[in-house]
């Protein structure tokens, strides 16, 4: 392309300060360096993680910064040594990566790449530690190696999944974070059998993706647990068959679920990050074969306590990261599931705004409205 090797001037939504509205303005994006790819972003969506770091809660603040990590785009140019993708390829930038060389990448059991696993504090690129974004000669920091709230971004080649060019980017881009995390927690880790029972704790976007996974696995009972009863009607679209609000009962919710199911569910997926919900999710699975999977991220100093007898009665407690998907190897296949109508994504996208109105997406999320807001970069 004519812009290859040149600095590109484009619009980006810059977070200059914690909690202050993003400012859409012109920035400069440098060419990709060794093992880097420059991507033109077509669609991006807002995730709770973006809001968390925008608010600068519980971590070292790093500003100015370009947030964003759920997106779809097209490769504009590539840096030295890049052979896996080329200009024109359709890709999903992903907040974690796959170097294909470390012990984790070589293991079939893990997706936690030593080189490219999530790093929330890194503000520059791996190659040289420098940013590829600037304004008036001053650096603007990267976020999760993706920074998709920009018309153009630079990403390590191990963090871009090449996908079917026929796949609609405004739909499949949600697979680059939350939807794959919840869906994969069910289908890859919990693995419910056809006709089995599944409990999902937390009916936000990730929890509903976990419920969608249970629906695809043909579970017969999918029990949604949430403190907000307004979420129950929406959750029916994702396969939930029953609902429990812990506030409606004067006993622990794990006891309620055990009574409902004659001893406990086959699988549970915890998607809230609450340690109380984690304990409930573990203790509500059936002895002998029950599997509980933790997805939600707790606060830094959290811990929880459960009696060892629950383990001795052959319950299993597992954790998962990004649904146990390897970004480059597995995500293209998940896109194909959508293309074959084996997986529904459209129902996750409840709002849409033009890029200039990106702050509306933050308002929707802060008010708890909808699941995913699609941000149209060309509008």
Q: Return the active site residues.
A: 47-49, 69-70, 99, 102, 105, 113, 117, 177, 372
- For β-strands 267-270 and 291-294, DSSP reports them as parallel
Distance CA 260, CA 40 (A): 50
User: Which residues lie below 8 Å from residue 15, measured CB to CB, with a gap of 6+?
Assistant: 22, 54, 63, 64, 65, 66, 67
* Integer Cα distance of 176 and 178 in angstroms: 7
Is residue 147 within 8 A of residue 67, CB to CB? The reply is yes
Q: Rounded to whole angstroms, how far apart are CA atoms 158 and 96?
A: 8
DSSP string, 53-103: HHTT-SS----SB----EEEEEEEEE-TT--S--TT-EEEE-SS---SSSH
CB atoms within 10 A of CB 200: 35
């Amino acid at each position: 392309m004519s812009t290859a090797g040149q600095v590109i001037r484009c619009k980006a939504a810059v977070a200059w300060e914690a909690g202050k509205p993003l400012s859409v303005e012109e920035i400069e994006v440098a060419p990709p360096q060794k093992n880097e790819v420059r991507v033109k972003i077509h669609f991006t969506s807002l995730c709770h993680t973006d809001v968390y770091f925008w608010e600068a809660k519980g971590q070292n603040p790093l500003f100015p910064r370009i947030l964003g990590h759920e997106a779809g785009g097209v490769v504009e140019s590539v840096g030295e040594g890049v052979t896996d993708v080329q200009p024109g390829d359709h890709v999903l930038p992903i907040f974690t990566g796959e170097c294909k060389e470390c012990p984790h990448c070589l293991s079939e059991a893990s997706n936690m790449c030593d080189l490219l696993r999530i790093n929330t504090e890194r503000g520059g690129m791996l190659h040289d530690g420098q940013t590829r974004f600037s304004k008036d000669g001053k650096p603007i920091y990267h976020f999760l190696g993706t920074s998709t709230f920009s018309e153009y971004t630079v990403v390590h080649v191990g963090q871009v999944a090449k996908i079917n060019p026929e796949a609609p980017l405004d739909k499949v881009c949600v697979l680059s974070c939350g939807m794959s995390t919840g869906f994969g927690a069910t289908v890859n880790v919990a693995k419910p059998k056809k006709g089995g029972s599944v409990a999902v704790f937390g009916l936000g976007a990730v929890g509903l993706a976990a419920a969608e996974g249970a629906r695809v696995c043909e579970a017969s009972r999918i029990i949604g647990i949430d403190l907000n009863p307004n979420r129950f009607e929406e959750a029916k679209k994702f396969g939930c068959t029953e609902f429990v609000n812990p506030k409606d009962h004067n006993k622990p919710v794990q006891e309620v679920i055990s009574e409902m199911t004659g001893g406990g569910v086959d699988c549970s997926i915890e998607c809230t990050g609450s340690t109380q919900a984690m304990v409930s999710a573990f203790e509500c699975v059936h002895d002998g074969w029950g599997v509980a999977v933790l997805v939600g991220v707790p606060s830094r100093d959290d811990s929880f306590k459960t009696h060892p007898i629950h383990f001795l009665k052959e319950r299993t407690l597992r954790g998962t990261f990004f649904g146990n998907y390897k970004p480059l190897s597995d995500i293209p296949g998940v896109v194909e599931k959508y293309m074959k109508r084996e997986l529904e994504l459209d129902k996750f996208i409840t709002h849409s705004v033009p890029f200039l109105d990106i702050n509306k997406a933050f308002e929707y999320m802060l008010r708890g409205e909808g699941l995913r807001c699609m941000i149209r970069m060309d509008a």
